[in-house]
Structure 1
């Protein structure tokens, strides 16, 4: 079972990582802003192709070697999981290394050819676009939190019936493999961690909703529709992830209270089904929506305007990944490489969002 899960994760990472250059806007190549007139440059196309081929080849080779090695050896699950995780990080590391290489090459290509030097940079603002935003309201995210609070109260009423050892960690097969002595705190620790995660998702949704909406100067109508769709689907993706996590954690908590609630088969299947659904919705989000909604088909013709390009804010992006702009009120901004959002590290609130939940979860784990 561990081998199957590790192979599935490896395959997913390989497919997603190798596809990243083609999931983002064509005017953003390895974190560098490219004028529309140069987006089809043959060298840029070769950079993307080489990146994808190397990642795909490495991923496929890793899967084949890992499978043959695991099946030919009598290995314990811990060794299989450890090796699988190492291979996953290896693919991600190679992908990041290739990104930095092609980021530097793209910057040099843009600079050497003076791309955009003869174009007027335009920043488009649409005051009315906020009224058309369909991101989910914060009240929707409160519902899973109410379920969690209800489980906290229910756990308190069932405290006397809880086992003397409370599960604190579950293996890849869904069975508990670490325990803590029963205390009022350890009894609800899992639910407290869930509340922190739910609160983080709510905060991300609200801060993302307040982020700037970037409209392309050369395709205003099309990008407006794509931006609104991207924001809507991002909100639904976050909420679906929150809902699935709530279901998983709630079942684990209820199974601690009522040990006969789920059969061994259910305990084994639930984490796998959770993982499968998460991968499916992530793939749909990435391949159907794309970064900034770039993969959403829009049947709208924009007027062609010569001599302009989008505002080039490369100076605020360190290595095309880390955004530092203290004058930008947005806490979250759209990624330049990958699908989704990243923090504005020039905004103080960004550090609270990044480190706050991590510190709380670590504190809860340490105090169990």
Structure 2
């Protein structure tokens, strides 16, 4: 088996593994992004859709391998392999959304919410005594950035030209670029941005509205605190993984190691390790910490209420939220350790408008943005 074929199969296996884990990364009460009462988490329709989703995801993986392996063997490069991964990921997301629609239809037709008291749980201690940012976990990203900057400063005087920088990896086949301080320091500048931005994102996540269960408010609040601490640590560790991949790219950019497929794969190893850590942790503790061990009394906690049904505000399998009457800007998504912007909030549209304006200015050449084939 050649290295490109092995890379393709590894990409398909990674995307398929994450897709198969998605149903386990959600609360039992939000299968495929649909809110259901506790009494219906094991409904035959929910179980059946899990099975159908698993079979279709495996079938998609087999089709991707059957179509991709001959093309890679015929000489298709890394760009094609990345494209296969993206297409497979989009197809798996479509299957996830399909399953959610089936569950939502069963919930509507079966009247699962009829006769239930719908409530929203609130815990003000998340404001008065919030989960703190574990700043010590931000140090590895800072250290890696400083090491990269030191290597670049030491190497700069020995360079005469630079290969094409793609963010994660270099392209030795592209024309060489002129040596300038800006071009040589691009990886360090990106690392600096990551090191500064990720703690800010972590702080915003820790201050976002907590995801609590109206049926078990006390237990879900305690578990969510424990869950947030783990999310904060892994998020800051993610900055270190991103910076480590950029360090490996820098070694190729500054011609300390030769650009090759092996070194390109090496840049992704920290990211793959981070992704595996995220998935394993989410499966172990559960979304919002629902699988964490219960303290005495939490197993029997039951307010007799169910979470307020707000499925009409959620789209794409619980990943997109739009509610003009909700003042929250950042809310927990219904899949894994993810948060999403409320598209019904004016600030969200201001941010999106600024990004669109930036893109238009770049397309019309009013401003110049750094050009690269792909960040990854």
Superposition TM-score, scaled by structure 1 size: 0.81
Equivalent residue, structure 2, for 1:231: 228
Query: Is residue 35–residue 309 contact of structure 2 (8 Å, CA) maintained in 1?
Result: yes
Unaligned runs of 5+ in 1: none
Change (3 A) 1:228 1:6: farther
CA distance in 2, matches of 1:284, 1:253: 30
* Pair 1:293-2:314 in alignment: no
**5 Å matches for 1:155-174?**
155=152, 159-169=156-166
1:149-195, Cα deviation, whole Å (9 max, x unpaired): 675587467643333225413787x7745442212221212222233
Query: Is residue 55–residue 95 contact of structure 1 (8 Å, CA) maintained in 2?
Result: yes
**5 Å matches for 1:138-287?**
141=138, 144-145=141-142, 148=145, 151-152=148-149, 155=152, 159-169=156-166, 176-178=172-174, 179-254=176-251, 256-257=253-254, 259-260=255-256, 267=263, 270-271=266-267, 273-287=269-283
What SS does structure 1 have at the residue aligned with 2:112? coil
CA distance in 2, matches of 1:80, 1:262: 18
Change (3 A) 1:153 1:8: closer
1:311-341, Cα deviation, whole Å (9 max, x unpaired): 2222322354311234544433222234422
1:105 to 102, 112, 117: 102
Equivalent residue, structure 2, for 1:365: 370
What SS does structure 1 have at the residue aligned with 2:111? coil
Query: Is residue 19–residue 52 contact of structure 1 (8 Å, CA) maintained in 2?
Result: no
CA distance in 2, matches of 1:352, 1:287: 35
Q: CA deviation at 1:27?
A: 0.8
What SS does structure 2 have at the residue aligned with 1:30? helix
Q: CA deviation at 1:268?
A: 6.0
CA distance in 1, matches of 2:369, 2:149: 15
Q: CA deviation at 1:309?
A: 0.6
What SS does structure 1 have at the residue aligned with 2:16? helix
CA distance in 1, matches of 2:159, 2:354: 31
Unaligned runs of 5+ in 2: 363-367
Change (3 A) 1:16 1:298: farther
CA distance in 2, matches of 1:132, 1:5: 47
Change (3 A) 1:252 1:105: closer
Query: Is residue 21–residue 48 contact of structure 1 (8 Å, CA) maintained in 2?
Result: yes
Superposition TM-score, scaled by structure 2 size: 0.79
Query: Is residue 333–residue 342 contact of structure 1 (8 Å, CA) maintained in 2?
Result: yes
CA distance in 2, matches of 1:88, 1:266: 19
Change (3 A) 1:131 1:33: same
Query: Is residue 200–residue 357 contact of structure 1 (8 Å, CA) maintained in 2?
Result: no
Equivalent residue, structure 1, for 2:121: 124
1:33-86, Cα deviation, whole Å (9 max, x unpaired): 11112222111211121112110232145335644x368x4x33xx14344334
* Pair 1:318-2:309 in alignment: no
Equivalent residue, structure 2, for 1:308: 305
Q: CA deviation at 1:31?
A: 1.9
Query: Is residue 221–residue 302 contact of structure 1 (8 Å, CA) maintained in 2?
Result: no
Query: Is residue 237–residue 285 contact of structure 1 (8 Å, CA) maintained in 2?
Result: no
